[in-house]
Amino acid sequence: MSQYSLLFFVLSLAVCLGALPVRSEDNVLDTIKEATRQYASGDYTAAAANLDYAAQLVRQQKSERMKAMLPEPLSGWQGKEASAQALGAAILGGGVTVSREYQKETSTVAIEIVSDSPVLQSVLMMLNSPMFAGAGGGKLETVKGQRAVLKYDNEKKSGELFVVVASRFVVTVKGRPATKEELLAYGEAIDYQILEKN
């Protein structure tokens, strides 16, 4: 990727995330401006480093906003604090992941939302192909209008629900042990329309 293309990518990413309020502790725009100055002066190494830094700051802001997409515990459940991780392109191609764990007596359900990662393409291929999903022991489901695959082991009382959102996000709901109904209930608890806007 050329230096100009990298600059264009970061600026586009910032625009796509919406007009974020500029605060004293938010130096994304300042970092991009500095990178632009360095690029204009021919200091490509410093410009690239600053663009990488700005992109990581944007991913961190997105991850914090995505944490709000994780649902509150369902009735009778307790929820742990949500966590977020924003990886740079050097690590598995980058991406944003948020997750939260819920418990009820001996049952545990974990929700994970992943976006902006090249690794998602293989997952999306599986979820978008009924034959591929079925070969892996999955059953096609529809969760609030979203394509999904449910894999469940009746003997172990554990399973995974994968939901594709806008071809950009993969939501995974894992339960060990948990019933199919509990997995689907947590899948239904997510507001996918709001998630699509992030």
Q: Looking at residue 7, what is its pLDDT?
A: 41
Tens-digit pLDDT profile for residues 8-48: 444 444 334 333 333 434 578 888 888 898 899 999 888 88
Distance CA 76, CA 89 (A): 40
E strand segments, 42-115: 78-79, 83-87, 95-104, 107-115
The DSSP-derived string for 16-57 is HT--PPP-TT--HHHHHHHHHHHHHTT-HHHHHHHHHHHHHH
Q: 155 vs 83, 150, 178, 190, CA distance in Å?
A: 31, 15, 11, 27
CATH assignment of 70-196, among 2.60.40, 1.10.3470, 3.40.1000, 3.30.310 = 3.40.1000
Closest to 109 measured CA to CA, from 181, 165, 182: 182
Give dist(CA 13, CA 35) in Å, integer: 15
- Largest distance between two CA atoms of the chain: 65
Q: What is the pLDDT of residue 82?
A: 93
> Residue 190: its pLDDT value, please?
95
Average predicted confidence (pLDDT) for the chain: 79
Q: Which of 95, 96, 98, 97 is nearest to 70 (CA)?
A: 98
pLDDT of residue 137: 76
Which of the four pLDDT bands, split at 50, 70 and 90, describes residue 195?
confident
Give the helix ranges, DSSP H, for 93-169. 120-128, 130-135
Give pLDDT, residue 119.
63
pLDDT score at 6 = 43
Domain positions in the chain are 3-66, 70-196
| Residue range 58-103, pLDDT digits in tens | 777 777 888 888 999 999 999 999 998 776 544 444 578 899 999 9
CB under 8 A, 24+ apart: contacts of 128-135 = 128/164
Q: What per-residue confidence (pLDDT) applies to 72?
A: 95
Q: 3-66: what CATH class?
A: mainly alpha
Give the pLDDT confidence score for residue 19 in this predicted structure. 35
* 183, pLDDT greater than 90: yes
Quick check: 130 pLDDT over 70?
no
Q: pTM for this one?
A: 0.71
CA distance 192 to 194: 5
